[in-house]
Amino acid sequence: DSGVTQTPKHLITATGQRVTLRCSPRSGDLSVYWYQQSLDQGLQFLIQYYNGEERAKGNILERFSAQQFPDLHSELNLSSLELGDSALYFCASSVGFSGANVLTFGAGSRLTVL
């Protein structure tokens, strides 16, 4: 157990729908990251939050949004889902926000869009 908790583990939904993925960071970590792992794109950085503020943005689609709440948990919202959004979505956390900090990953949420 890495200490980073992601729910749900698996999610199956239809095209056009909206889903929310949740992440609780490791105790003491202030920074949360979201990554997408798909067969064709590999591991892609989506977005980073630090203590409630957006810190960095990667290849995140406009249909996707995220936030980090005062209790430091984070949610990734995916809307108008397409078949190509089927992927494993990982959350990671770290103490700080700079590149010197090591990331701890959760077990992932597997999204299947039918």
Partner 1 sequence: GNSVTQMEGPVTLSEEAFLTINCTYTATGYPSLFWYVQYPGEGLQLLLKATKADDKGSNKGFEATYRKETTSFHLEKGSVQVSDSAVYFCALSIRTGANNLFFGTGTRLTVIP
Select the span of 18-26, 67-75, 76-84, 90-98 touching partner 1 (CB under 8 A): 90-98
What is the C-alpha separation between 9 and 20, in angstroms, rounded?
12
Q: Helix (H, G, I), strand (E, B), or coil: what is residue 96?
A: coil
Residue 19 or 89: which CB sits closer to partner 1? Answer: 89
Structure tokens belonging to residue 30: 């202030």
By CB under 8 A, residue 53 contacts partner 1:
no
What is the C-alpha separation between 13 and 30, in angstroms, rounded?
31
Residue 15 or 96: which CB sits closer to partner 1? Answer: 96
By CB under 8 A, residue 48 contacts partner 1:
yes
User: At a CB cut-off of 8 Å and minimum separation 6, what does 26 contact?
Assistant: 2, 3, 4, 93, 104
Instruction: Indicate which single residue of 15, 58, 69, 114 sits in contact with partner 1 (rule: CB under 8 A).
Output: 58
Residues that bind partner 1 (CB under 8 A): 2, 4, 31, 33, 35, 42-43, 45, 48, 55-56, 58, 90, 92, 94, 96-108
